[in-house]
Structure 1
Amino acid sequence: MKLKSKHSPQKNRKMVGIILLLTTLLVFVVLAGRLIKIVASDEVSGVSLKEKTKELYNGMDKISAKRGSILDSSGNILAEDSVSFSIYAVLDEEYVQTDGTKLYVEEKHRETIANILHTHAGIEKSLVIKQLTPQKNEAGDLITTVEFGEKGNGLNFDVKNKIEDELEKKEISGIYFREGKKRLYLNGKFASYFLGYTSITENEEVGMMGIEAAYDDILRGKEGSVIYQKDKNQNSIPGTEQVIEPAQDGAVITTTLDSLLQLKLEELLQETADKYKPQLITASLMEAETGKLLALSQRPTFEPETLAGLDEESAVWLNLLTEEDYEPGSTMKPFTMAAAMSEGIYDENERFLSGQLEFYDVSINDWNNGEGKGEMTFRQALAWSSNVGMVTLEERMPEKWQEYIELFGFLKSTDIKVANEVSGTVQTGTPVDRAMTSYGQAISVTHLQMQQAYTAIANEGKMMKPYLVEKITYPDGTEEVTNPEVVGTPISKEVSERVLEYMSDVVHDAEYGTGNQYAIEGISTVAKTGTAEFSENGIYNKQSYLHSVVQIAPKEDPKYIFYMTIKAPTLDGTTANDIISTVSNQMLTRAMTLRESN
């Protein structure tokens, strides 16, 4: 038996229609309510439509701050930021301003643009025409922005302005410039490890070595920001830029370096490196009364702008004057003499037998294989550089001598404000170790520690802190000036004068002096030479040596201290003192000549 529906088909269809109508009305009401809410609140899911519209048609970019320059002591630029430009063209015919002004390259202007770019930037006309002719990419889309190869990059202000002026006169649009930044080092190899270099990291210029790294936070300045309008293709519309926060340029750092002296030093060191092929060279010229570093360098070195020299397998990544310590050898002996004089356990006329000294379980030998030079006075011991003489003095003041090592600053970094400066070490495990420090073995120092210690001898007992930064000039005009700083008085004026007198014997004593090459005509100089075995993997190398000299001028009123080390040069019949004196004598002569002319 069939069951009949309560409703006829017509009624069912009517009911379905009513339900659909009500559903449609409900959806309409919900959508209308949502739309009204959006219009009223200007938000969707908490996101502001107004802000999104701004983002669509407005852009914001950072304004790079100009990195502060680094200057020499006379204000000459050593390192500075340089702006360069890359040229590009827009070919998109929809790239127009709201008033209809065309901002793209028109076909009728291609030949003229080619002539302009060839005249001022040297870009081949055929390349310009080719680039300005619309082409499609692999996806079949029109290429709307083009560049012009290597010659279209790295343009300076002058070229950019000439191109822009000529395009403006001819009312040609569509050619634009992207601004870039490059750090320039105007003198090439010039105190490279102390000036340092910069690298672009995450679109920021960052100091990577030397002053560039140590003072990076004040050199880099502070970025600003600019807003601009964008077209429908999200390209910026020229002329709509508005600075909302100006950039603040970095501080300017004035160094103590004298460019005339520094360039001379670089020239002399390069000649020495090329001729004698040493493993390493370090050299510096310091103002004795203040601690100012006037010139300093090392070999191997590198070009800060191109990093040529750091891209080799044998590259040295250390600032050898501050980051590497070494056993100085006999240039330590004037400090032993100064300590003995200060402690009153020294008589310059007392005699001892040079050559060999049995000391505990070892034999202390003088530099001529222990042969010695017979009996001599302790004053002659310094001129002749006797190890036996120094150990004899150390035996009389073993504990006090260790104190003088610290008083002369050998176990503390000079704090010259460059990265990774080391402090040096001293071996004190046995009496033999402690005795060896009196002639510069079993103790490790840095180049600048030696320079600092010698200021006490050259400057009436006052030890001056070395410094490289003369002043910092901030964007608001305020200055932070570095003043000379006395960091200790390890010896008296009288002792310093006596040590200088004995160091004069090194140069001028015909019989005992080991540094006659350091005499300079017309300039009274004093010096102390040094030759030290150097340790490799804990074993002393008996075949090659670290040679060094400290030379001070003039003797009567010291103005300059020159210190140089050279490791394992190829001597070929010459001597280390001949090599070093060629550099040091010229540097001191140049310094004294410049001083007299000022």
Structure 2
Amino acid sequence: MSVKIMKKKTKRNRERSHIPFRLNFLFFIVFALFAALIIQLGRLQVLNGASYQAMVNSTDKKIVTGNVPRGMVLDAKGRVLVGNSAKSAITYTKNMNVLADKMYAEANQLTKYLTIDKLDTLTERDQIDYYLSNPKNLKKWNARLPKSRKVAADGSKIPDKTVYQSTIDLVEKSFTGLSDKQKQAAAIFKIMSGAYQLSTVYIKNDNVTDKEIAEISEHLTSLPGINVGTDWERSYPNGDSMRSIIGHVSTEEQGLPEDGINSLLAQGYSRNDRVGTSYLEKQYESILHGSKSQTQVEVGNNNQILSSKVVFKGQKGSNLNLTIDQAYQTKVEAALKKIYAKAVAAGATTYSDGAYAVAMNPKTGAILAMAGEQNDRTTKQASDDALGVINRTFVMGSAVKGATVMGGMMDGVISPTNNTLPDTPIYLPSTPVKKSVYPVGTFGSLSAQSALEVSSNIYMMQLALREGKAEYIPNKSIKISPDIFTKMRGYFNQFGLGQKTGIDLPGEAKGIEGPTLTDDGSTAVGSALDLSYGNYDAYTLIQLAQYISAIANGGNRMKPYLVDSIQQTGTDGNLGKLESKTSPTVLNTINAPKSYFNVVKEGMYNVVNGTNAWGTAHTLKDIKPTFGAKTGTAQSFAREDPNDSNSKQVETVTSSLVGFAPYNDPQVAIAIVFPNLTSDEGHYNTLLAREMITDYYKLNNISK
């Protein structure tokens, strides 16, 4: 009995001890976990607390650049040709990783204080992007997308970009457009969303009212990234004068031009930067652009801008001081327009495409004036085309005969003391007689000086035959040296004819050389003779100015230039110190004695002041101090219909002139061309030359 009692007691004791053990084990685990947690908290707080706190408070410093006004363009007397007009602007600096819904809300808020004037660039896609930037709209339309447009056939997720495009496609089917108020917000949203992170763009920079500035300034704290600032735009105090020379600047919307975007980006430009896109603005972009301002911004770990500090306020672009005197430029432009209008009134411009003139300092190459009048044959409207001086080519005619005479002396076929040649026409088989404008037999022979005065084509052809060692028998085929074109063009090239002048403007043309061989492969003798008196190859007017300058200065081919100096802008906004000054550049020196140049100069003196009845510019002899010149008339051709390359070609006349003044101390060289006239009876070349020379004398106080 006692044994049983003992067994029951043992079992009962065993049951009592089993339950506390499990509880104790559980308590032990809980205690261990709490201990581990306390240790971890201690490690975080004590050992690494400072570093983790630093991570929480961490910021990133970045540099934000800002645009500065471009440099000005001034004339030779310091008058502003191109400046900058400051204007109020509302700007937006985009935070890092800002979401579309935030910009949507901010754009809507801005419409309470701001009116966007230009909505014509707002496309349907722009409106839909704005519409879907509202999270509710995006969610609603995403829900309507079929599953197949969200998940691929293999179960993988379709990229968000593709899904978004599918949503747009779906919205487009029933989209009816936005309200006027929403379009305002959409235009603002488009500008905001198109900005790069931490870049500043203009929300509105035209016609910003005082009320808009005041209201936005009052609410800046609730408009992240929005600020009130200033912008600038190019201003032209002289209107459209010289605009085709100065060039243009892109807008912020246009940004960098496609043809140079990679190069400009590599130089630190932003895609929406305004840059020079043509001529002087483009040629001197790096000078005019200036140095951008730099602002150091502190960005928090929530990608919001915490603070900003200007570290470099930027440097306005440097200024260009031109060689052109605006007063003289205006005179030349006005004279060209007036005389071309005379040609129009006389019915001489039916096939004409304009008229051009340039004046240059023959000793330095400085351009004194450039003017062009382009005639639209379809609309009959004329427009400024000063760049035609450097990028249009014409067969100039007898104006180039000074180079032909120089070539003859340099080749040794004539000399300053032995240059009289028979004035006998050239007869080639199956070809009209090649002669001068005056009747055959007017002169038995001519000196080089007289040949220039009466503009003898025969004399120049005789030089070409001698240079080519030709065997000439009337009405027989001429055998001439195959290198005649190379030789004659070589002499012309030394004066710049047929060569780029190197002027500091982009887009200069070289000229056009005619074929040197006939269809059967033989040397084109007739064409070589035409070349000798300027009726074959085509040149630019700036080349003619360079050529006559080399005659005037005694043999130096000067590089033409428009920018005389580059000058900084001072801290007070006025002109600062001179950065650089253009030095005259001699491209090549013509290796000929002074006596050769004297022959040509005497001939050009006679063109104006001679007594021969066939002299071509004697009407200018009353101008004092006197000057030297050479007129030109070339046979040219124009299409009857300018818009149809297959239309009939009509024979026209191109009238030209080159000259230098005063004769004894040349200070100005001029070149003029009136291409494709129906007649040159109006002597428009000499009429314009008169005004260009007399105006130059008056403005520079040059008298007898």
TM over 0.5: yes
Cα gap change, 1:421 to 1:493, in 2 (>3 Å):
same
Partner residue of 2:599 out of 498, 520, 532: 498
1:450 aligns to what? 544
Residue 224 of structure 1: aligned partner: 293
1:590 to 695, 699, 704: 695
Query: Which runs of 5 or more residues in structure 1 are unaligned?
Result: 1-9, 89-109, 114-134, 146-151, 303-311
- Residues 208 and 301 (structure 1), Cα distance of their counterparts in 2 relative to 1, 3 Å cut: farther
Q: Aligned AA for 2:458?
A: V
Partner of 1:64: 67
Contact 2:637 / 2:652 at 8 angstroms: preserved in 1? no
The within-5 A match list for 1:263-274 is 263-274=330-341
1:205 aligns with 2:278: no
In the alignment, the residues of structure 2 paired with residue 213 and residue 450 of structure 1 have an alpha-carbon distance, to the nearest angstrom, of 25
Where does residue 79 of structure 1 map in the other structure? 82
Match of 1:482 in 2: 582
| 2:455 is the alignment partner of 1:385 | yes
Once residues 425 and 136 of structure 1 are traced to their aligned partners in structure 2, the CA distance between those partners, rounded to angstroms, is: 57
User: Please, which runs of 5 or more residues in structure 2 have no aligned partner?
Assistant: 1-18, 92-111, 114-178, 190-203, 221-226, 256-270, 469-483, 518-522, 570-575, 639-644
Change in 2 beyond 3 A, CA 1:455/1:580: same
Deviations 1:198-257 (A, max 9, x none): 1131331211112111111121111122256899x99999xx763122312222221111
Structure 1, residues 265-304: CA drift from partner, whole Å, max 9, x if none? 12222334445254122211111222211111212399xx
* CA-CA distance at 1:403 after TM superposition: 3.0
The answer to whether the aligner puts 1:438 opposite 2:508 as a matched pair is: no
Task: For 1:64, give the aligned amino acid.
Answer: N
Render the CA deviation track for 1:391-446: whole Å, top value 9, x for unaligned. 11111113553431232222431111221323234343324233322111332322
Paired position in structure 2 for 1:470: 564
Q: What residue in structure 1 maps to residue 681 of structure 2? A: 575
- Identity over aligned residues, as a percent? 24
Q: Any conservation in 1 of the 2:504–2:560 contact (CA below 8 Å)? A: no
The structural deviation recorded for 1:549 is 0.8
Equivalences for residues 333-344 of structure 1 within 5 A: 333-344=401-412
**Which is worse superposed, 200-209 or 399-408?**
399-408
Mapped contact 1:198–1:206 kept (Cα < 8 A): yes
2:398 to 317, 321, 330: 330
Report the counterpart of residue 367 of structure 2 in structure 1.
Answer: 293
Go from structure 1 to structure 2 and tell me whether the alpha carbon gap of 1:27 and 1:472 turns closer, same or farther (over 3 Å shift): farther
Which residues in structure 2 correspond to 1:419-430 (within 5 Å)? 419-427=506-514, 428-429=516-517, 430=523
Q: Distance in 2 between matches of 1:471 and 1:507?
A: 36
Match of residue 526, structure 1, among 588, 612, 628: 628
How far 1:21 sits from its partner (Å)?
A: 8.1
Distance 2:438 2:282 in 1: 47
Cα pair 1:338 1:495 within 8 Å, conserved: yes
TM-fit CA distance, 1:153: 6.0
CA contact (8 A) 1:462 1:489 kept: yes
Aligned to 1:131: none
Q: Do the aligned residues in 2 keep the contact of 1:391 with 1:435 (CA within 8 Å)?
A: yes
Match of 2:238 in 1: 187
Stretch moving more, 61-70 or 325-334: 61-70
Partner residue of 2:357 out of 275, 283, 289: 283
The structural deviation recorded for 1:530 is 1.2
- Equivalent position amino acid for 2:87 in 1: S
Aligned pair 1:417/2:417, yes or no? Answer: no
Q: CA deviation at 1:87?
A: 6.9
Counterpart selection for 1:214 from 283, 293, 298 = 283
| Contact persistence 1:470–1:481 (CA under 8 A) | yes
In structure 1, the residue matched to 2:319 is 252
Do the aligned partners of 2:454 and 2:612 also contact (CA within 8 Å) in 1? no
Counterparts of 2:558 and 2:681 in 1: how far apart (Å)? 32
The TM-score, its normalising length taken from structure 2, stands at: 0.61
Rounded Cα–Cα distance in structure 2 between residues aligned with 1:371 and 1:33? 118
Q: Could you say what secondary structure the match of 2:390 adopts? A: coil
- 1:214 and 1:449 mapped to 2: Cα distance? 20
Q: Return the alpha-carbon distance in structure 1 between the equivalents of residues 545 and 51 of structure 2.
A: 73
Cα offset for 1:344? Answer: 4.2
Select which of 351, 366, 370 maps to 2:435.
366
Distance 1:51 1:273 in 2: 72
Rounded Cα–Cα distance in structure 1 between residues aligned with 2:593 and 2:381: 48
Residue 367 of structure 1 deviates from its aligned partner by: 5.2
| 1:364–1:388 CA contact under 8 A, matched in 2 | no
Deviates further, 250-259 or 470-479: 470-479
Query: Closer, same or farther in 2 for the Cα pair 1:62/1:364, shift >3 Å?
Result: farther
SS in 1 for 2:597: helix
Q: Are residues 497 and 540 of structure 1, via their aligned partners in 2, closer, same or farther at CA, if it must alter by over 3 Å?
A: farther
- Map 1:35-54 → 2, pairs under 5 A: 41-42=51-52, 49-51=56-58
Partner-residue secondary structure (3-state), 2:601: helix
Structure 1 position 461 matched with structure 2 position 555: yes
Mean alpha-carbon deviation: is it higher for 358-367 or for 389-398?
358-367
| RMSD of Structure 2 on Structure 1 (CA) | 4.9
Give yes or no for contact 2:548–2:660 (8 Å, CA) kept in 1.
no
Which residue identity does 2:243 align to in structure 1?
S
Q: Using the alignment, how far apart are the partners of 1:447 and 1:71 within structure 2?
A: 24
Query: Residue in 2 aligned with 1:406?
Result: 493
Of residues 502-511 and 259-268 in structure 1, the stretch that sits farther from structure 2 once superposed is: 502-511
